[in-house]
Amino acid sequence: MSEGPSRSPAPTVHERKLDRSRMPIHGFHAHIYYDTATRDVAARVPDALVRAMAREFGSTPADLIVAVGPSIGACCYEVGADVRDAFGAAFGDRDLTRWFFDEPQPTAANPSMPGVARTRRPNHWFFDGWQAARDQVEDTGVPAAQIHVAQLCTASHATLFCSYRRDGKAAGRMAAAIACRRRPLG
């Protein structure tokens, strides 16, 4: 990966509502930042972002570095059939078992938040948006080693992150930024 000057004059700063994946894509000529809701991932927005980088900046997927920031994980994120159906319609059934689970998927780093059911309710699944985003970006040709997923669940870590799923309308907001480090050209 080569780093170069950003076309943006300043770091891209974006603030939005929580639990969403924050997805900086950093290429040779530019960096962009997109705040991705689950429905955006189903609508192939990560794929569209990589294509837009190529179209607008001449980037190639092999040069991109992609980062998926903290967002709600499959340890906590129960979704309904509408979400699973949207992914099934967009990607077919092939990958649904990689992204949707009958039980929450806690880890040592991301325990399920209090109150999460041990098994899904009827017509509900636990959704791994991190894997869905990673798979989609990898399919565009970005090397796996250049896709970085924070794997930090916003709902699991009440002292670190805001989470709409955990806190509802009282939840705060989070901000994120990306910037290019200045390096000599040549």
- List interacting residues with Zn ion (CB under 5 A): 73, 75-76, 110, 153, 155-156
Q: Which residues of 75-92 are buried (b: 16+ CB within 10 A; e: fewer)?
A: bbbbbeeebbebbbeebe
Q: How far apart are the C-alpha atoms of 9 and 134, rounded to whole Å?
A: 28
In the complex with Zn ion, the residue whose CB is nearer, 75 or 137, is: 75
In the complex with Zn ion, the residue whose CB is nearer, 27 or 104, is: 104
**Contact in structure between 29 and 1 (CB atoms under 8 Å):** no
In the complex with Zn ion, the residue whose CB is nearer, 20 or 31, is: 20
Shortest Å distance, C-beta 41 to Zn ion: 17
Cα first-last separation, the chain: 14
Shortest Å distance, C-beta 109 to Zn ion: 9
**Contact in structure between 161 and 14 (CB atoms under 8 Å):** no
Shortest Å distance, C-beta 75 to Zn ion: 3
Phi, psi of 68 (to 5 degrees): -105, 115
Shortest Å distance, C-beta 126 to Zn ion: 10
Shortest Å distance, C-beta 135 to Zn ion: 20
In the complex with Zn ion, the residue whose CB is nearer, 29 or 120, is: 120
In the complex with Zn ion, the residue whose CB is nearer, 6 or 156, is: 156
**Contact in structure between 69 and 176 (CB atoms under 8 Å):** yes
Shortest Å distance, C-beta 103 to Zn ion: 13
Residues 6+ apart with CB under 8 A from 156: 73, 75, 76, 106, 110, 111, 112, 113
In the complex with Zn ion, the residue whose CB is nearer, 68 or 75, is: 75
